[in-house]
Amino acid sequence: MKFVTFSMTDGAHLGLVDADHQVIDLTAAWPAVSAASAPRDVADLAVLGTEGLAITAEIAKVANARRLDLASLTLLAPVPRPARNVFCVGRNYKDHIDEGLRAQGLAPKPLPEAPEFFTKSPAAVVAHGDTVPVHAKATKRLDYEVELAVIIGRRGIDIPRAEAMDHVFGYTIANDVTGRDLQRRHGQWFKGKSLDRSCPLGPVVVHRSVIGDTPDLAIRMRINGELRQDSRTSRMIFDIPAIIEQLSLGMALEPGDIIATGTPSGVGYAMEPPRALGVGDRMEAEIEGIGTLANVIAAD
C-alpha cells in the first residue's frame, strides 16, 4: 500500500495510491465505513494501527470509492506538520564520513560506535514540489542530502532490536537540506540543519509490507539533472533496527514520528571544488520503490 497526503478545499486529505496512479480519497470515504474520525494524513493513519489498515482495505474494495488522478493533486508532505521534531541520523554511510573528513582536511577516524542523532524542527517540513528558500542571510553553503526516512507506526520505549521493525509504519524520502557553514559554526548541528522549509519529505509513504524489513534500495540525488549521490540503503552503518533500538532508549517513539536515516557520499561541500545550492537549482531525491522527491531552491 502506498499513501499520499494532499490538499483539498477543506484541508489535508489522506489518499491510497493504486497501480494506475489513481488515488482513493480515504478521508472522504472513511465515514461510510467507520464511526471513528477520518484520518487526514499519514500520521493519523499510523495512530489507528491495524484497524486503520483494515478500514483502508475495506474502502479499496468498494468499487464506487472516489478516485482522483495522482498527477492532478497538490501533494502535501505525508505528515504536513509533525507533532515533534524530525529525528535524524548523522554520518551513517562510511563513504560520506570519508568524504567529510577529506573535505575538512582531517585524518581518517574509527567509525562511530553509536548513531549520531540530531533533529529538524516541524517547520522545516515541506512537500514534493514545494520551494526551499536559499536563506541567503543565514548561509552561503546550502547543501542537499537524500535519505531514506521511516514513519513510526506504533508507540514504544526501550524497543529491542528484534522488535524494532514492528514499530515501523512505512518508508518515504527525506532531503536533509543543510547550511554547512551554520552546521560547523555552532558546534551542535541543530542550527544548520533546521532552517525553515529545509526538510522536503515525500512524495509518498510506502507501507513496510511492500518494501520489507531490510531495505536494499538504490538511493540517488540529482542536481539540475546531474547525478551527485548514488548508493544503496543497505550500506548504512547503523541499520533501521539499530537506529530504533538506540533512539527509543529512555525516549518513547510515537506513531507519526519520522526518522531520517542518513545520507551517502556525494554532497556538495565535499566536491572539489565545493558546490553550494543556489536559486533555481532543482533537487531530485530518488529512492527505488518509493519515487522521486523534487524541490527547487527559491529566492527568500
User: Contact positions toward Mg ion, by CB under 5 A?
Assistant: 145, 176, 263
Cβ atoms within 10 Å, residue 53: 17
Q: Who contacts 96 (Cβ-Cβ below 8 Å, separation ≥6)?
A: 262, 263, 264, 265, 266, 267, 270
Q: Residue 73 or 199: which CB sits closer to Mg ion? A: 199
Contact 51/86 with Cβ under 8 angstroms? no
Count CB-CB contacts under 10 A for residue 91: 18
Instruction: Give the residue with the Cβ less far from Mg ion, 96 or 167.
Output: 96
- What lies within 8 Å, CB to CB, of 132 at 6+ separation is 126, 177, 197, 198, 200, 283, 295, 296, 297, 298
Closest approach, Cβ 45 to Mg ion, in A, equals 26
Q: How far apart are CA 80 and CA 41, in angstroms?
A: 8
The CA-based diameter of the chain, rounded to the nearest angstrom, is 63
Nearest approach, Cβ of 247 to Mg ion (angstroms)? 15
Q: What CA–CA distances, in Å, run from 200 to 127, 190, 249?
A: 5, 17, 27
Provide the terminal-to-terminal Cα distance of the chain, rounded to the nearest Å: 37
Nearer to Mg ion, 90 or 215 (CB): 90
User: In the complex, what is the shortest distance from the CB of residue 136 to Mg ion, in angstroms, rounded to a whole number?
Assistant: 22
Rank residues 74 and 104 by Cβ distance to Mg ion and give the closer one: 104
From the CB of 29, what's the least distance to Mg ion, in Å? Answer: 37
291-298 and 131-133 strand pairing: parallel
> To the nearest whole angstrom, how small is the minimum distance from the Cβ of residue 99 to Mg ion?
13
Q: Where are the alpha helices (DSSP H) in the chain?
A: 26-29, 42-61, 94-103, 180-185, 190-193, 208-211, 240-247
- The grid coordinates listed for 12 are 489535508
Alpha carbons 205 and 257: distance in angstroms, whole number: 13
Closer CB to Mg ion, residue 97 or residue 253? Answer: 97
What is the closest distance, in whole angstroms, from the C-beta atom of residue 202 to Mg ion in the complex? Answer: 17
Tell me how far, at minimum, the Cβ of 92 lies from Mg ion, in Å.
8
Q: Considering the complex, state which of residue 91 and residue 208 has its C-beta at the smaller distance from Mg ion.
A: 91
Shorter beta-carbon distance to Mg ion: residue 198 or 263: 263
